[in-house]
Chain A
């Protein structure tokens, strides 16, 4: 998939150069993966890429912030500490509401997923001097890996907690017997498409958003200093929208994880 993106970006760059003449504009270029350190492990390409760099930066920032803000652990929180506590409370309420108190043992993993996706989405909004702009979550391989991990984990939890009674999840109660074969097939299909829809939702939102930003950014450059103010004003609004989407998608990702977890914990409903 990463190779697919590299080749896609190259193809788009080649086409864009032909269509637009000098300084050809290419909204897909921002998704290209660049290898910084070449590395091969057991025949696999494990190079340190810009994607890895952004992940390390995001994780490092989150860790540094959480550790720094909670270093004193006061009863009356400082400003930084209250931000950490707000995040904690937000995710804890989300888990309690969607998965019940039985979901609280799995709070750390959901908190990690939420903060990770949020950090990656928000870090993608900031262009860094010398490095450019990159959004880790705009690559389906990253989001699909997350979603597949959640899917397998939740299924294992379901079987571990309930054994074969977990399969009751596919047989909703109160359905007429004639409809049952059809409903079971639909339930099973919808269960197995969960990792796909979960990953594509996040990936498509981030990718579409950043492509749109690049296209509107090119309008500002194309119209120059006289006419570029109108699309520039629009860009400011779009940036706000994208930051909202970054929060929203992280929230939706975490909420759906909670809902899947709730299905695994209480399959009878």
Chain B
């Protein structure tokens, strides 16, 4: 295979890390809403944890994106 083509395919595959990030973010907000509707009075106190969890889940997907960007733009 042409190395340039392999690089592009690899970059595309690396972006599949965002699948997991999407699932994770969905789980976090979904579960937060479920919990918040069951006990609305306890919800505001957990809002910082929600944001923290969102950022941590999103970051794992972005690590994959960084791999894709390295494959595309760094001369190996």
Residues of A in contact with B (beta carbons under 8 Å apart)? 4, 7-8, 11-12, 28, 197, 200-201, 203-205, 207-208, 248-249, 251-252, 255
Nearest Cβ in chain A — how far from B32, in angstroms? 15
Q: Is the CB of B73 within 8 A of A12?
A: yes
A205-B69 CB under 8 A given contacts A11-B75, A251-B51: no
Other than the given A7-B75, A197-B59, 14 more pairs (CB < 8 A) read A4-B74, A8-B74, A12-B73, A200-B59, A200-B66, A201-B55, A203-B66, A204-B66, A205-B58, A248-B55, A249-B55, A251-B51, A252-B51, A252-B52
- Write out the residue numbers on chain B whose beta carbons fall within 8 Å of the beta carbon of A251: 48, 51-52, 55
Q: Is the CB of B75 within 8 A of A200?
A: no
Nearest 7 pairs of A and B residues by beta carbon:
A204-B62, A8-B73, A201-B59, A252-B55, A204-B66, A208-B65, A248-B55
* Residue in chain A with minimal CB distance to B73: A8
Whole-angstrom CA separation of A251 from B52 in the bound complex: 8
Q: Is the CB of A207 within 8 A of B74?
A: no
Nearest Cβ in chain A — how far from B57, in angstroms? 11
Nearest Cβ in chain A — how far from B1, in angstroms? 20
| CB pairs A–B below 8 angstroms (26 shown) | A7-B75, A8-B73, A11-B75, A12-B73, A197-B59, A200-B59, A200-B62, A201-B55, A201-B56, A201-B59, A204-B59, A204-B63, A204-B65, A204-B66, A205-B55, A205-B58, A207-B66, A207-B69, A208-B62, A208-B65, A248-B51, A249-B55, A251-B52, A252-B52, A252-B56, A255-B48
- Write out the residue numbers on chain A whose beta carbons fall within 8 Å of the beta carbon of B73: 8, 11-12, 28
Residue from the set A201, A203, A207 with the largest chain B CB neighbour count within 10 Å: A201
Nearest Cβ in chain B — how far from A198, in angstroms? 10
Whole-angstrom CA separation of A52 from B68 in the bound complex: 28
Whole-angstrom CA separation of A133 from B52 in the bound complex: 28
Number of A-B contacts (CB under 8 A): 45
- Write out the residue numbers on chain A whose beta carbons fall within 8 Å of the beta carbon of B66: 200, 203-204, 207
Whole-angstrom CA separation of A7 from B55 in the bound complex: 30
Q: Is the CB of B62 within 8 A of A201?
A: yes
- Write out the residue numbers on chain B whose beta carbons fall within 8 Å of the beta carbon of A208: 62, 65
- Write out the residue numbers on chain B whose beta carbons fall within 8 Å of the beta carbon of A8: 73-74
Nearest Cβ in chain B — how far from A250, in angstroms? 10
- Write out the residue numbers on chain B whose beta carbons fall within 8 Å of the beta carbon of A252: 51-52, 55-56
* Residue in chain B with minimal CB distance to A211: B69
- Write out the residue numbers on chain A whose beta carbons fall within 8 Å of the beta carbon of B56: 201, 252
Whole-angstrom CA separation of A238 from B23 in the bound complex: 20
- Write out the residue numbers on chain A whose beta carbons fall within 8 Å of the beta carbon of B69: 207
Nearest Cβ in chain A — how far from B55, in angstroms? 4
